[in-house]
């Protein structure tokens, strides 16, 4: 039986109701998809949960399913905390020893996850299992990001590879001929600030020297993970990842294509304008006006966020804009003050303050004396109140936004911590990434004036400048957010061998982003490895989804807040009604299929690009005017 706890916020048309039931049915049925009979996997040295139902068990019943899930949840919770603490220590102190310890804890946890996934499949044919238990059995089976083969030695090997690549990325440095060695943060500053193509090129190539040694490790990791996924009944790891969206995995790429198709004209218009401006800056020999843009000229190490080249592409005639980085620096903000400002935003919406331990245990500033993983992350170590962020904060607008992003994760984690273990997560992984980004959209000039950071709010003639800045972050990001996993899915499906990894990467960079490598790539290049989420094994489609969702969330919250002006001027700061609506969705965790949770906040059952398109509509008209007479496309 479906446990029908439909939200009552919105009245639905009969069509929407029918669609909702359809979605529910898909969610219930999908557990039966793709399953092949599974062999019983013997337990390794890890203690088993008390209820062990396998395919060999002759009498799995709905009652045993309930017991099995409860026992699995409590064991995973205990083991997960251990692995999480190890991972925390490792990424805060990268040494040979912590690498080993993190790999060991991860191995134990993954092995148990895999065993439970296999045991969960023993209930596939059992009828009469209640909705939540069925949903959780499905999560146990398909929710492992990096499944390992059941062979203990292979599980260990896989965990070691993961820890090793994480360390290689975290410790990565490039040493110039004069002996000066720079880390990612410093190389990124060059990418952001320099306008000297030679200097940019050297920093760009320099960072990519860290990744060739990862290529064979990565290839082996893929091999092992695919073996693990196959044992669990999936054709490969890509199919397993695509199974986490409350719809048949084969339908998910079509959803992405649909969304990309909706936003592509806006991206194309931005690309065209930016390419023309870069041509003016650097000359059309370096930036040919009919081809992809060289990737080192876009202000970011991966050309995923172009906001740092705003001064090069800014609208000339419109009202003056403001420079948030300069304001933060002038007002003597330090890392803590930036995080406190982010916290205050959430407090203004009615969220409880962060616990004392957050301030004691988080890492806010890059330590000088050791290697750490600087890539920003949010943690919930005990799944209750031990919230933390880990970030090497710089005093600039980009990190101010990232702080809100990370805090969004923390507030989400705290909102669902009352749920049972398997329901502690976001509706789909894009939701988790979208919460803080939604709040960032409320960092408007009015808000900055409200908190004393801006004296004067630019009038409406400055809107194009504002929108341009936002587009250089959010619209420029979209094709990158999409292509990373397009690459990975093809690699997982065996469509490229290690020698072909890099060519495939650049083929997709060109296809989606219209960017190209600034020079010939060395034969051993492994440029995907120079992006954190590849060695870190973090799925990336979530960020594409988040870009779409954050505007849907923002639109809904602004409506609750009674906003009547344009969406780009709306800030929900201080609005308790909007905060309560947001929290109501966050509290649901993963307990319901994501369309239900999306509906609870927005009244919509589908991810939809109209919010982002409406938001940027004035900029699109402006770009179209600018691009008149230009040859667009690549
Ligand atoms: O990795 C992140 C966050 C942590 S979940 C800082 N982001 C992606 C990236 O940096 O590539 C946020 C935007 C996209
Ligand atoms: Zn995130």
Q: Which tens digit of pLDDT belongs to each residue from 198-224?
A: 999 999 999 999 999 999 999 999 999
The pLDDT tens digits for 115-149 are 999 999 999 999 999 999 999 999 999 999 999 99
Query: What does each C-alpha distance from 51 to 74, 120, 428, 447 come to in angstroms?
Result: 12, 11, 29, 54
Query: What does each C-alpha distance from 520 to 23, 293, 298, 455 come to in angstroms?
Result: 47, 14, 18, 48
Counted domains in the chain: 3
- Please indicate, yes or no, whether residues 132 and 198 belong to a single structural domain of this protein: no
- Please indicate, yes or no, whether residues 306 and 404 belong to a single structural domain of this protein: no
- Please indicate, yes or no, whether residues 314 and 328 belong to a single structural domain of this protein: no
- pLDDT at residue 462, rounded to an integer: 85
94 lies in some domain: yes
467 lies in some domain: no
- State which H helix or E strand residue 162 sits in: helix 152-171
At residue 27 the predicted structure's pLDDT band, cuts being 50, 70 and 90, is very low
Distance of CA 484 to the CA centre of its chain: 11
- pLDDT at residue 320, rounded to an integer: 67
Find the 78 Cα to ligand 1 centroid distance in Å. 28
**Cα–Cα distance between 589 and 432 in angstroms, integer?**
10
Whether the pLDDT of residue 246 is over 60: the answer is: yes
Find the 375 Cα to ligand 2 centroid distance in Å. 10
- Please indicate, yes or no, whether residues 135 and 150 belong to a single structural domain of this protein: yes
- Please indicate, yes or no, whether residues 239 and 258 belong to a single structural domain of this protein: no
151 lies in some domain: yes
Question: Can you read off the two tokens belonging to residue 456?
Answer: 């004067």
C-alpha radius of gyration, the chain, whole number: 24
334 lies in some domain: yes
- Please indicate, yes or no, whether residues 557 and 583 belong to a single structural domain of this protein: yes
| Residue (of 590, 589, 425, 421) closest to 75 by Cα position | 421
Mutate to test the pocket of ligand 1, among 393, 398, 405, 531 (most ligand atoms within 8 A of CB): 405
Beta bridge partners of 387: 380
2 lies in some domain: no
- pLDDT at residue 244, rounded to an integer: 94
Ligand 1 atom 13 nearest Cα:
543
DSSP string covering 68-111: HHHHHHHHHHHHHHHHHHHHHHHHHS--HHHHHHHHHHHHHHHH
- pLDDT at residue 322, rounded to an integer: 86
Find the 543 Cα to ligand 2 centroid distance in Å. 8
8 lies in some domain: no
Whether the pLDDT of residue 38 is over 80: the answer is: no
CB atoms within 10 A of CB 581: 23
CB 115 within 8 A of CB 75: no
Q: Is 376 in the pocket of ligand 1 (CB under 6 A)?
A: yes
What integer is the mean pLDDT of 72-90?
93
Cα three-residue angle 414-419-424, rounded to 5 degrees: 65
CB 143 within 8 A of CB 244: yes
CB atoms within 10 A of CB 629: 5
Tell me the angle at which helices 463-492 and 215-231 cross, rounded to the nearest 10 degrees.
70
Question: Can you read off the two tokens belonging to residue 12?
Answer: 């639905």
- Please indicate, yes or no, whether residues 152 and 52 belong to a single structural domain of this protein: yes
At residue 57 the predicted structure's pLDDT band, cuts being 50, 70 and 90, is low
Query: What does each C-alpha distance from 284 to 139, 279, 291, 292, 510 come to in angstroms?
Result: 52, 5, 11, 12, 18
- pLDDT at residue 41, rounded to an integer: 23
B/e letters for 188-216, b = 16+ CB within 10 Å, e = fewer, are bebbbebeebeebbbbbbbbbebbbebbe
Distance of CA 137 to the CA centre of its chain: 25
Tell which atom from ligand 1 comes closest to the C-alpha of 376: 6
Percentage of the chain modeled with pLDDT above 90: 87
Ligand 1 atom 2 nearest Cα:
376
Domain boundary among 539, 567, 589: 539
Ligand 1 atom 7 nearest Cα:
543
Domain with 91 in it: 16-172+212-250
Domain boundary among 495, 513, 539: 539
The pLDDT tens digits for 288-329 are 999 999 999 999 999 999 999 999 999 886 656 789 999 999
The pLDDT tens digits for 505-538 are 999 999 999 999 999 999 999 999 999 999 999 9
Mean pLDDT of the chain: 91
Q: Is 377 in the pocket of ligand 1 (CB under 6 A)?
A: yes
Domain boundary among 250, 272, 307: 250
- pLDDT at residue 10, rounded to an integer: 34
- Please indicate, yes or no, whether residues 228 and 198 belong to a single structural domain of this protein: no
CB atoms within 10 A of CB 42: 9
Would you put residue 168 in left (φ > 0), alpha (ψ -120 to 50) or beta? alpha
Q: Is 550 in the pocket of ligand 1 (CB under 6 A)?
A: no
145 lies in some domain: yes
Ligand 1 atom 5 nearest Cα:
377
281 lies in some domain: yes
Which positions are catalytic?
Answer: 406, 533
CB atoms within 10 A of CB 553: 27
- State which H helix or E strand residue 378 sits in: strand 377-380
> 515-516 and 293-294: which strand pairing?
parallel
Whether the pLDDT of residue 12 is over 80: the answer is: no
**Cα–Cα distance between 633 and 629 in angstroms, integer?**
13
Tell which atom from ligand 1 comes closest to the C-alpha of 481: 14
- Please indicate, yes or no, whether residues 368 and 236 belong to a single structural domain of this protein: no
What integer is the mean pLDDT of 176-185?
97
- pLDDT at residue 316, rounded to an integer: 84
- Please indicate, yes or no, whether residues 129 and 41 belong to a single structural domain of this protein: yes
Mutate to test the pocket of ligand 1, among 433, 480, 545, 549 (most ligand atoms within 8 A of CB): 433
- Please indicate, yes or no, whether residues 312 and 330 belong to a single structural domain of this protein: no
Find the 392 Cα to ligand 1 centroid distance in Å. 13
Find the 138 Cα to ligand 2 centroid distance in Å. 24
- Please indicate, yes or no, whether residues 279 and 307 belong to a single structural domain of this protein: yes
């Amino acid at each position: 039986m479906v446990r029908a706890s439909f939200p009552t916020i919105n009245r639905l048309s009969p069509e929407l109701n029918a669609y909702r039931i359809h979605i529910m049915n898909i969610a219930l049925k999908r557990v039966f998809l793709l399953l092949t009979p599974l062999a019983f996997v013997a337990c390794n040295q890890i203690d088993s949960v008390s209820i062990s139902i396998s395919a060999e068990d002759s009498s799995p019943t709905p009652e045993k399913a309930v017991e099995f899930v409860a026992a699995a949840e409590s064991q995973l919770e205990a083991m997960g905390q251990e692995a999480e603490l190890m991972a925390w220590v490792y990424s805060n102190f990268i040494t040979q020893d912590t690498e080993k310890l993190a790999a060991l804890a991860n191995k134990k946890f993954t092995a148990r996850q895999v065993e439970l996934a296999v045991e969960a499949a023993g209930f596939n044919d059992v009828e009469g299992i209640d909705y939540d238990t069925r949903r959780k059995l499905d999560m146990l089976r398909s929710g492992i990001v990096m499944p390992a083969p059941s062979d203990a030695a292979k599980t260990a090997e896989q965990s070691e590879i993961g820890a090793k690549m994480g360390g290689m990325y975290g410790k990565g440095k490039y040493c110039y001929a004069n002996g000066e060695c720079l880390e990612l943060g410093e190389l990124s500053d060059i990418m952001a600030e320099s306008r000297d193509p030679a200097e940019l090129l050297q920093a760009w190539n320099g960072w990519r020297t860290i990744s060739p040694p990862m290529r064979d490790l990565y290839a082996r990791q893929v091999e092992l993970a695919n073996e693990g996924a196959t044992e669990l009944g999936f054709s490969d790891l890509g199919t397993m990842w695509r199974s986490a969206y409350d719809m048949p995995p084969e339908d998910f790429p079509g959803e992405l294509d649909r969304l990309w198709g909706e936003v592509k004209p806006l991206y194309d218009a931005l690309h065209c304008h930016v390419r023309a401006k870069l041509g003016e800056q650097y000359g059309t020999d370096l930036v040919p006006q009919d081809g992809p843009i060289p990737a080192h000229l876009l202000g970011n190490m991966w050309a995923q966020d172009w906001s740092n080249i705003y001064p090069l592409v800014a609208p000339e005639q419109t009202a003056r804009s403001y420079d948030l980085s300069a304001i933060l620096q002038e007002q003597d903000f330090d890392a803590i003050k930036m995080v406190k400002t982010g916290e205050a935003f959430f407090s203004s919406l009615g969220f409880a303050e962060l616990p004392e331990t957050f301030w004691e245990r988080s890492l806010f500033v890059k330590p000088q004396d050791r290697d750490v993983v600087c890539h920003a992350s949010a943690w919930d170590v005990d799944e209750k109140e031990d919230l933390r962020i880990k970030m090497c904060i710089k005093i600039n607008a980009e990190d101010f936004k990232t702080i809100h992003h990370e805090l969004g994760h923390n507030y989400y984690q705290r909102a669902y911590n009352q749920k049972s273990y398997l329901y502690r997560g976001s509706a789909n992984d894009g939701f988790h990434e979208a919460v803080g980004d939604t709040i960032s959209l409320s960092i408007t000039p009015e808000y900055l004036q409200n908190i004393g950071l801006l004296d004067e709010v630019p009038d409406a003639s400055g809107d194009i400048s504002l929108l341009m800045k936002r587009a250089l972050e959010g619209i420029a990001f979209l094709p990158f957010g999409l292509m990373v996993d397009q690459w990975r899915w093809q690699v997982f499906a065996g469509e490229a061998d290690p020698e072909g990894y890099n060519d495939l990467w650049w083929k997709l960079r060109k296809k989606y982003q219209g960017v190209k490598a600034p020079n010939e790539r060395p034969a051993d290049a492994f440029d995907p490895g120079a992006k954190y989420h590849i060695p870190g094994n973090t799925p990336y489609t979530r960020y594409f989804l988040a870009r779409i969702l954050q505007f849907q969330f923002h639109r809904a919250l602004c409506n609750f807040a009674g906003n009547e002006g344009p969406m780009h001027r709306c800030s929900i700061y201080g609005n308790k009604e909007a905060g309560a609506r947001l929290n109501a969705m966050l509290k649901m965790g993963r307990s319901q299929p994501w369309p239900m949770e999306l509906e609870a906040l927005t009244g919509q059952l589908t991810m939809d690009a109209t919010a982002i398109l409406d938001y940027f509509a004035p900029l699109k008209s402006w770009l179209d005017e600018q691009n008149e007479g230009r040859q667009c496309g690549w």
